Structure 1
Amino acid sequence: MSYVIGIDLGTSAVKALLLDKNGAIVAEASKSYPLFHEHSGWSEQRPDDWVDGTIAALRELTSQPNVNADAIEGISFSGQMHGLVLLDEAGNPVRNAILWNDTRTTAQCREIEFTLGEQLLSITRNPALEGFTLPKILWVKQHEPENFEKSKLFLLPKDYVRYRLTGELHMDYSDAAGTLLLDVAGKSWSASVLEAFGLPASFCPPLVESHGLVGTLLPQSADDTGLPASTKVFAGGADNACGAIGAGILEEGLTMCSIGTSGVILSYEKNSASDFGGKVHFFNHGKEDAFYAMGVTLAAGYSLSWFKNTFAKGESYDELLSGIEAIKPGSNGLLFTPYLVGERTPHADSVIRASFIGVDGSHERKHFARAVMEGITFSLNESVDMFRKAGKTVDRVISIGGGAQNPVWLQMQADIFNANVIALENEQGPGLGAAMLAAYGCGWFDSLDACASQFVKHAAVYEPNEAAVEQYAGLFAIYQQVYAQTQGLNESLKAYR
């Protein structure tokens, strides 16, 4: 039996999955690494921590007694998007990586908007937001000129790990689309954008398809990981693109809901002509010559983990959520907005913060816990609502991530989205998508669609409950008013943070 490995480089940990030709998971390993918040709104990691964690996870994987490392044919990657890794002439990081959830670059976003004008959306298809890569580059250029002077090339997180394993520099289209430097429709680095900000073409790595073969392992990498030096290494994709592949979102008519640290509503787009006016993200898919539209909730699963760590530290999620199924929609008149770290869709606002609205003496912890889950889902429904208003049909939603682990939450999604919500038999999200890219790249299948028919299996289907749909529709209309009502208050509170 032959195997492939999917590596998912997340914000808190890297996870490696070993799959056979049937799509069954044979083994898995995970390693965590630290996150640094030196100042409010800053979020950084050490690039070499990713490398060390990945090597350790691969070594653990290949050391398991049921694993024949010599039968591993290929590996590929999924990675956290947007993170800036600057390399010097020798190929070493100039500074810590600035991550996707870092919000220090508001001024640089306004500079990008002013400089590019209408070209911003026509070329990059996305607005200038703090999480994207170009604003980070400009921040370093302005605030750390000595580091910028040393910088000869930039990479995104997974691309740096892959570079250290292979010695080859590349970036795939799905991840490059989140930099604000890519001509999304033209699938090339934009000469206009680079010139506008004084960046040479050599500052960008060569582009490649997500299933593209980019090399094999360096001898040292093979020794460190226990993998054969002949192991084929494929480019991989952005975490959301790989999550879409792992959920089988490879054709029109399917929508994905992913609830991890952040949350995503993603819809497959077959061509670049779709126009959402910058209200949602529009990126290249990990599937060749395809695209996807995506709305983002910055603090989705993070909102629930924050609530647990603050009010139920040491308890399990099962204990935290005990009894929520008996609470009616609306949590007895309690609303939560998940703006803990600002918001992305539909409010691109780094200053807004979370609120509980409607608190009274009857509320117990379980009401707050359910309200957090409902608020996260309401935020995701903002994107569903925009897709529908743009003429898209959203009636089948594949749910992955933390929100797919709880039946109450899955039913809540069906009721709030007013759509059938489908869970997967073996939900592994972006890691599975990365493994599928390796399987396709190795020639196991003649298309990603054929791979998905073997690897992606649907499980339970949650149908919307008519009474709950009606109640949630009224609550959603109230939820949509909270942002405007609290925006000014949060602006005033900013001085006290």
Structure 2
Amino acid sequence: MYYLGYDIGSSSIKVALVESKTGKVAGVLREPQEEMVILAPQHNWAEQDPEEWWKYICLATKSLLSKHAIDKNDIHGIGISYQMHGLVLTDSNVKVLRNAIIWCDSRAVSIGEEALEQIGRDKCSSQLLNAPGNFTASKLKWVKDHEPKLYGKIHKAMLPGDFIAYKLSNKIRTTISGLSEGIFWNFKHQQIAEWLLSYYGLTIDHLPELVPTFGFQGKVSTKAAEETGLSVDTPIVYRAGDQPNNALSLNVFNPGEIAMTGGTSGVIYAISNKTESKEISKINNFAHVNYTLKNPTLGKLLCINAAGIQYRWLKENLKFTSYEEMNTLAEKVTVGSDGVVLLPFGNGAERMLNNKNIGSKILNIDLNTHTNAHICRAALEGIAFAFMYGMEILLAEGLQPKVIRAGNDNLFQSKVFANTICTLIGFPIELYDTTGAVGAARACALENGDFKAFGETQLKNDHIHTFYPHKDSKPYLEAYQHWKELLEKEL
């Protein structure tokens, strides 16, 4: 028997099969093999066609079942992880009205800033635990203001995971965790933030029906079964945004535990039981996957928009053959990249920089001495320094790290990157062989709420390495301080 997990990213769709009793990975597949296109109709915009996500889910599911000779009737649950903060709009026939406005789109920044000013920081801090910012609610307001005819046709506004769950089950539903990531949730009163909807001139009728994060959320329809190769009535039993799901994948559930991600964006996701935040414009506070009305556990999220996408840009434009080649070159250069500095902020407005978009910059290149190797190291260090800059914000919030974990993929496959972060923080980073799709599949077993047993299984099976801080941290600290000074000049 198996569970199936989906991870709907902005670069690809990943599908994983795990054995339901042991959690052992039976197979993982991604579609497309090349990264999906992010459309940019205007500067600082980012869109994707939701039907493209579905097309690749269907292809990947059929391919995975066929490749591993899995009987579709042996799949007993489906879990969904998805790119957060996106906006998918459908009409009364559940036809998509426009491209999805995805997480790294910055068009609604000014709307969120004006809302914060008019509503007041105190009310946003005490009830939303966030500034309205550039989140889903503000994006929906942008559509209302700039595409009024289209807005008038809206029946439902969904997050990317809600849309995929609809395509699978023909049911339009969401979760408290999902509503919180769109800034639709009132943490103080533990209900939908109707006053924010009223302020924006939006209607609660546009929001999907609420279902629990764990438990029955729908079942595969006849149409979806035909398109995916799954069995009719296979239950969907879990759904969460990619960062809460990544934390789940790494057994991060308790206050002081931290999950890090070095994918397209870089994320520090720290667990807290304090429903308060000082830095609501820099830190996001979301309902974690184990959030309940009696135990309101939060995930404090610090995001660097341009992490892996910065490294990918270098790979493509400097014509490297692989990331391994880049990582190897970077290791040949000393700490501090011989003075070369890279500021990795070229993928939209950066929330931790107060929603400023200062662009990506490579500084201090000496044309006589510096090479591609220096640029590779400066990129890895620059992204790691951005992580440290974010950690300082979280530490000022009172965060006391107890454990830091990361998946063994993307940027964390670079020793330069991982060693730089861990040495600057002065805390070990545990590396695990898991992915979002695998975590989403395994989460199907959490219908019973046994987080302890779930975590013990993952820690036992998945741990592959722990990075420890270098004893001589001085060159790292000096390089970081130099980077920080240049960043603050830009700001």
TM-score, shorter chain, exceeding 0.5: yes
Q: Deviations over 1:114-145 (max 9, x none)?
A: 33223222222112333x11121111111111
Q: What's the TM-score once normalised by structure 2's chain length?
A: 0.93
The reply on whether 1:110 has 2:113 as its aligned counterpart is: yes
The reply on whether 1:480 has 2:488 as its aligned counterpart is: no
2:438 alignment partner in structure 1: 432
CA distance in 1, matches of 2:65, 2:11: 22
Q: Deviations over 1:345-377 (max 9, x none)?
A: 520334311222222232111011001000001
Which range moves more in the overlay, 262-271 or 142-151?
262-271
**Is contact 1:85–1:156 with CA below 8 Å preserved after alignment?**
yes
The reply on whether 1:374 has 2:393 as its aligned counterpart is: no
Q: Once the 2 structures are TM-superposed, how far is the Cα of residue 260 of structure 1 from its aligned partner?
A: 0.4
CA distance in 2, matches of 1:148, 1:222: 31
1:28 alignment partner in structure 2: 28
Correspondence list, 1:254-333, <5 A: 254-273=257-276, 275-289=278-292, 290-313=297-320, 315-333=321-339
Secondary structure of 2:131 counterpart: coil
Q: Once the 2 structures are TM-superposed, how far is the Cα of residue 343 of structure 1 from its aligned partner?
A: 4.6
Secondary structure of 1:265 counterpart: strand
Specify whether residues 270 and 106 from structure 1 end up closer, same or farther in structure 2 by C-alpha distance, changes over 3 A only. closer
1:383 to 357, 377, 390: 390
CA distance in 1, matches of 2:152, 2:42: 24
Specify whether residues 4 and 146 from structure 1 end up closer, same or farther in structure 2 by C-alpha distance, changes over 3 A only. same
CA distance in 2, matches of 1:66, 1:410: 37
CA distance in 2, matches of 1:107, 1:389: 26
1:411 alignment partner in structure 2: 419
Matching residue's letter, 2:29:
A
Correspondence list, 1:84-99, <5 A: 84-99=87-102
2:346 alignment partner in structure 1: 340
2:132 to 122, 128, 134: 128
Secondary structure of 1:212 counterpart: strand
Secondary structure of 1:63 counterpart: helix
**Is contact 1:411–1:463 with CA below 8 Å preserved after alignment?**
yes
2:363 alignment partner in structure 1: 357
Q: Once the 2 structures are TM-superposed, how far is the Cα of residue 22 of structure 1 from its aligned partner?
A: 1.5
Q: Deviations over 1:450-474 (max 9, x none)?
A: 212113432211110121x222222
Q: Once the 2 structures are TM-superposed, how far is the Cα of residue 241 of structure 1 from its aligned partner?
A: 0.3
**Is contact 1:280–1:346 with CA below 8 Å preserved after alignment?**
yes
Which range moves more in the overlay, 5-14 or 120-129?
120-129
Secondary structure of 1:221 counterpart: helix
1:455 alignment partner in structure 2: 458
The reply on whether 1:60 has 2:63 as its aligned counterpart is: yes
**Is contact 1:173–1:286 with CA below 8 Å preserved after alignment?**
no
**Is contact 2:106–2:349 with CA below 8 Å preserved after alignment?**
no
Secondary structure of 1:321 counterpart: helix
CA distance in 1, matches of 2:140, 2:111: 9
Specify whether residues 142 and 276 from structure 1 end up closer, same or farther in structure 2 by C-alpha distance, changes over 3 A only. closer
CA distance in 2, matches of 1:449, 1:41: 42
Q: Once the 2 structures are TM-superposed, how far is the Cα of residue 341 of structure 1 from its aligned partner?
A: 1.9
1:171 alignment partner in structure 2: 174
**Is contact 2:222–2:232 with CA below 8 Å preserved after alignment?**
yes
Which range moves more in the overlay, 391-400 or 413-422?
391-400
Q: Deviations over 1:221-265 (max 9, x none)?
A: 122222221311124101000000001111223212110000001
1:16 alignment partner in structure 2: 15
C-alpha RMSD of the superposition: 1.8
Matching residue's letter, 2:365:
V
Matching residue's letter, 2:127:
I
CA distance in 1, matches of 2:282, 2:52: 35
Q: Deviations over 1:175-209 (max 9, x none)?
A: 22121221135442111111112222211112222
CA distance in 2, matches of 1:5, 1:185: 35
2:46 to 26, 43, 46: 43
Q: Deviations over 1:59-100 (max 9, x none)?
A: 112222432321110001000011111111122111111111
CA distance in 2, matches of 1:309, 1:60: 28
Q: Once the 2 structures are TM-superposed, how far is the Cα of residue 410 of structure 1 from its aligned partner?
A: 2.1
Matching residue's letter, 2:415:
P
Specify whether residues 185 and 474 from structure 1 end up closer, same or farther in structure 2 by C-alpha distance, changes over 3 A only. farther
CA distance in 2, matches of 1:295, 1:109: 18
Matching residue's letter, 2:394:
F
1:206 alignment partner in structure 2: 209
**Is contact 1:267–1:293 with CA below 8 Å preserved after alignment?**
yes
Matching residue's letter, 2:422:
A
The reply on whether 1:4 has 2:15 as its aligned counterpart is: no
**Is contact 1:7–1:431 with CA below 8 Å preserved after alignment?**
yes
Q: Once the 2 structures are TM-superposed, how far is the Cα of residue 433 of structure 1 from its aligned partner?
A: 2.4
Q: What's the TM-score once normalised by structure 1's chain length?
A: 0.92
Matching residue's letter, 2:7:
D
Matching residue's letter, 1:167:
N
**Is contact 2:27–2:68 with CA below 8 Å preserved after alignment?**
no
* Identical amino acids, percent of aligned pairs: 24
Q: Once the 2 structures are TM-superposed, how far is the Cα of residue 271 of structure 1 from its aligned partner?
A: 4.4
Gaps of 5+ in 1: 488-497
Secondary structure of 2:115 counterpart: helix
Secondary structure of 1:362 counterpart: coil
**Is contact 2:281–2:354 with CA below 8 Å preserved after alignment?**
no
1:464 alignment partner in structure 2: 469
Secondary structure of 2:253 counterpart: coil
CA distance in 2, matches of 1:279, 1:475: 24
CA distance in 2, matches of 1:187, 1:45: 32
